[in-house]
Structure 1
């Protein structure tokens, strides 16, 4: 998006008159071939447009597009319908559409300027509706995202998610539990007016005030700005220093998000009255998500957290308690033999001296008693090393025996072959 796909063509930003006209023309063409055609609601206050974004779903039964199964062939056919002079295949299809000749106003020769169309072909009606919702109002979700993120809530191009705090710093993807892709439920959960969402805002300030209506929004007071963590938004120079990498990039590239941070939030602090969400906690939001989005969400959240904690615990038992409790000695091979034996006993349930070791057996939930495991390792590592060393020697003997037997079989086979060759060449 942004009108930068065609680096070899001139695709300048469009004034509203050109954008509105081209958008209507392209949508009219596409509606002849697709069941659903739409564009996200534009951000307020734009005086130029970088490209035209359109979503489509399902070719109409009578359209030639309904018979096409190849994306390159589909892009070529669409280029003909749209009058595009070039296209690029990617997650979206980018088309270069000639700039309306009567809109050049003598500044450049006709057909020397182009408009970038970004066409997204949705695989389902649900995806079509979600994309319209998620991309609405330009930077609005960037703004809302910076507000709700500290509460463990995330929205992306697939849906609404609850993040598990104990996991997210190490594996963000695994920390995300899907809540819903029903935009009505999402807006209800955030405390935002559903009717206003589907209407274009008259100004940036109107959109900012709408975002500030989120029930989790509140402005930190001056004496709270030094806090490194926690909820609440800051804005201004102090808030900019604490932005995540993605938000810092948005500050540089997205004027509306920059205005939210540098102008609107500091002004809110000066005017006061934005403390409605101050009492809301991350734990409260989590529990409300469990209640609103069903028992399955809580079950998945708790199961994933338990599995994560168990995997982390198992790794710690192995690296720190078992392996880490065997002393560092000069005989590295003996130490390795001891560690291997202890791993089999503790981690894999092998017997020790012919008997199971109950004190190093995990409980019903799979967790070990770390103190008991450590005591067992410290007490028995030498004997475990003797066992492991004996096993290693036995494996070596068996290996040598197998190697000798294989060599003997090969020699016998070669002897039989030589006898056969001699008989075949004998004149008698």
Structure 2
């Protein structure tokens, strides 16, 4: 789906005043060049760039419902992942403009026609089935930030304070988006509508599963991410975290390091511990460990793990030394054979 974009700094056409400007005073224009390798990408670029700031407005509306549109297409975000890895949370839905508009509840014919006024474009944006404005008396209680503030258009000074960083930047740089926040939304709030839609983020997700067939991809991505996090936490918090700090271990850092390595090998690597595989090393069909069993095993056996680990290290060290000595001996014998074959000088 790739594409690329770059910007060129181009001097504007000469004006009557150019001769009176110093080199440092001359102004340039920026020309953005987009390379679109397929007809599909070209069509999406036309769609996504149409009407200037309209997608900034729509993007702010659909974001709380778990949707994101960028220069590639429309995506569904996985909430469990997006707080820690936004890019990995994105599930591609479509780059077909017709399907996107249909999913948002917007009229396709009107989209491809010019809006006569800014107000007409704003009214069109309100037809998005996820759009609604907060009532003027709908004060947000402390602790309700996620359920109330992130949903619904508020506008005005109060709404500006709750905008995300990207939207605050748009407020500063994009006059149309600023008018939407500063003027149009406050006007709708005074008029009392439209009210909160009877639809949730979960319902939008389920509709996306049905219309775009992404349930399997979504669930696999979530499961893989949860398993990776589980294994990371198991190693960091359960295994390394359950062993006392170095200051509390008389044998010092080598003993603690040996215990950690041995426990990782036993619990996560399937290595036998005193001749058996402990229950703490067993995983569910999905690959998850019973953390209670793991914690109990580590608490009872970390010192024994250190002893076994040190003994194992000593055995490996001896084997390494013997292997090096054998290699040196073979090399010396090979040199002697070559010397004998060559005869006296």
Q: 1:399 aligns with which of 304, 308, 320?
A: 320
| Structure 2 unaligned blocks of 5 or more | 20-25
Going from structure 1 to structure 2, the CA distance change for 1:376 and 1:422 (only over 3 Å counts) comes to same
Report deviation, 1:354: 2.1
Which structure has the greater CA radius of gyration? 1
Provide the residue aligned with 1:250 in structure 2. 170
Which of 247, 252, 265 aligns to 1:344? It is 265
Q: Normalization by structure 2: what TM-score? A: 0.86
Select which of 245, 258, 279 maps to 1:358: 279
TM-score by length of 1: 0.70
Among 183, 186, 204, the residue aligned to 1:285:
204
Aligned match of 2:153 in 224, 230, 233? 233
Q: Is the 8 A contact 2:67 2:74 kept in 1?
A: yes
The equivalent residue for 2:239 is: 322
**Residues 136 and 190 in structure 2, CA contact (< 8 A), matched pair in contact too:** no
Q: Deviations over 1:109-147 (max 9, x none)?
A: 8xx998776554431111111111000000000000001
The residue number in structure 2 matching 1:38 is none
Cα distance change of structure 1 residues 130 and 302 upon mapping to structure 2, 3 Å threshold: same
Q: How far 1:384 moved relative to its partner?
A: 1.4
What CA distance in whole angstroms lies between the structure 2 residues aligned with 1:114 and 1:332? Answer: 62
SS in 2 for 1:374: helix
SS at match of 1:305: helix
The equivalences for 1:155-166 within 5 A come to: 155-166=69-80
Aligned counterparts, 1:57-76, within 5 A:
none
Q: 1:97·1:117 contact (CA, 8 Å) conserved in 2?
A: no
Cα distance 1:150–1:98, how it changes in 2: closer, same or farther (>3 A)? closer
1:411 Cα deviation after fit? 4.8
Cα gap change, 1:403/1:98 in structure 2, threshold over 3 Å: closer, same or farther? closer
- Counterpart of 1:125? 39
Does 216-225 or 248-257 show the bigger shift? 216-225
Distance of 2:167 and 2:100 partners within structure 1: 22
Conserved 8 A contact 2:5-2:32: no
Matched, 1:309 2:226: yes
State the shift of 1:218 in Å.
0.8
Displacement of 1:327 = 2.2
Closer, same or farther: CA 360–407 of 1 in aligned 2, 3 Å: closer
Provide the alpha-carbon RMSD of the alignment.
2.6
SS for the counterpart of 1:423 is: coil
What SS does the corresponding residue of 1:333 show, helix, strand or coil?
A: helix
Range with bigger deviation, 395-404 or 170-179: 395-404
SS at match of 1:247: helix
Report whether the alignment pairs 1:179 with 2:93.
Answer: yes
Aligned to 1:298: 215
Cα separation, 2, equivalents of 1:224 and 1:293: 35
- Whole-Å separation in 1 of the counterparts to 2:318 and 2:194: 78
